[in-house]
């Protein structure tokens, strides 16, 4: 009698091995897809946390001093408009080449599906084209901005003549995109009114 496997036994073992290989491949592919989705979510969360931290840091470093336009005319201390989708204020910026912080004009604006942080090199720039832009959030549908003072929310700042020399109690920025909506509420923590 010859020792060995019959053709049927070899075919059955090949079918069993093929089934095991197909199941293993599908399991491996679903594991890779799940890992890629998790990595994408983690990357989105990192970008979101960095953006919120930047906005929070800037708004908590607000300086309650009046701004000036390029002709030297005095502007309010803090300017915000939901219609223009923009916030402008003075704040401390840490420079790489300096051991001290300096006061610079900072703007946050919504333009072309991006929420942008614009930093001018000085507090009262003569040249409004002299700035650095950083995209904080990308691919967003809309931004809503509002300001709290005396327990009332306003969509424009300053809200009245007295408010021209004040910083709002709270600043709320609502970011809307197709996947999610979130809001950031920040307390600049400046209670005094600027006096000349």
- Type and span of the H or E element at 155: none
- The answer to whether residue 102 sits within a structural domain is yes
- The answer to whether residue 135 sits within a structural domain is yes
- The answer to whether residue 192 sits within a structural domain is no
- The answer to whether residue 160 sits within a structural domain is yes
Backbone φ/ψ region at 164: left (φ over 0), alpha (ψ -120 to 50), beta = alpha
Alpha-helix residue ranges (DSSP H) falling in 61-174: none
Q: How many domains does the chain have?
A: 1
Alpha-helix residue ranges (DSSP H) falling in the chain: 7-60
Query: Residue 158: is the preceding peptide bond cis (ω within 30°)?
Result: yes
Domain that holds residue 92: 56-186
Q: What is the largest CA-CA distance in the chain?
A: 112
pLDDT tier, 196 (very low <50, low <70, confident <90, very high otherwise): low
- The answer to whether residue 9 sits within a structural domain is no
Residue 110 confidence (pLDDT): 96
CA distances from 21 to 26, 28, 87, 171 (A): 9, 10, 58, 57
- The answer to whether residue 49 sits within a structural domain is no
32 vs 121, residue with greater confidence: 32
Residue 97 confidence (pLDDT): 64
Using one digit for the tens of pLDDT, what is the confidence trace for 63-89?
Answer: 988 898 888 888 998 999 999 999 999
Query: Is the pTM for the entire model greater than 0.85?
Result: no
pLDDT tier, 59 (very low <50, low <70, confident <90, very high otherwise): very high
Other beta carbons less than 10 A from residue 143's beta carbon: 21
- The answer to whether residue 180 sits within a structural domain is yes
- The answer to whether residue 143 sits within a structural domain is yes
Using one digit for the tens of pLDDT, what is the confidence trace for 82-119?
Answer: 999 999 999 988 766 666 678 899 999 999 999 999 99
């Amino acid at each position: 009698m010859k020792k060995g496997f019959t053709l049927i036994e070899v075919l059955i073992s090949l079918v069993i091995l093929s089934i095991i290989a197909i199941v293993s491949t599908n399991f491996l592919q679903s594991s890779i897809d799940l890992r890629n989705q998790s990595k994408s979510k983690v990357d989105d969360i990192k970008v979101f946390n960095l953006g919120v931290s930047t906005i929070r840091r800037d708004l908590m470093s607000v300086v309650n001093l009046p701004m000036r336009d390029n002709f030297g005319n005095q502007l309010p201390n803090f300017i915000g408009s939901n219609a223009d989708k923009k916030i402008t204020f003075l704040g401390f910026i840490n420079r790489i080449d300096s051991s001290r912080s300096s006061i610079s004009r900072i703007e946050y604006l919504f333009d072309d599906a991006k929420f942008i942080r614009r930093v001018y090199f000085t507090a009262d720039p003569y040249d409004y084209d002299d700035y650095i832009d950083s995209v904080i959030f990308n691919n967003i549908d809309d931004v809503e901005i509002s300001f709290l003072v005396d327990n009332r929310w306003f969509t424009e700042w300053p809200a009245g003549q007295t408010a021209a020399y004040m910083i709002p109690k709270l600043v709320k920025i609502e970011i809307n995109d197709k996947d999610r909506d979130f809001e950031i509420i920040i307390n600049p923590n400046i209670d005094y009114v600027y006096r000349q």
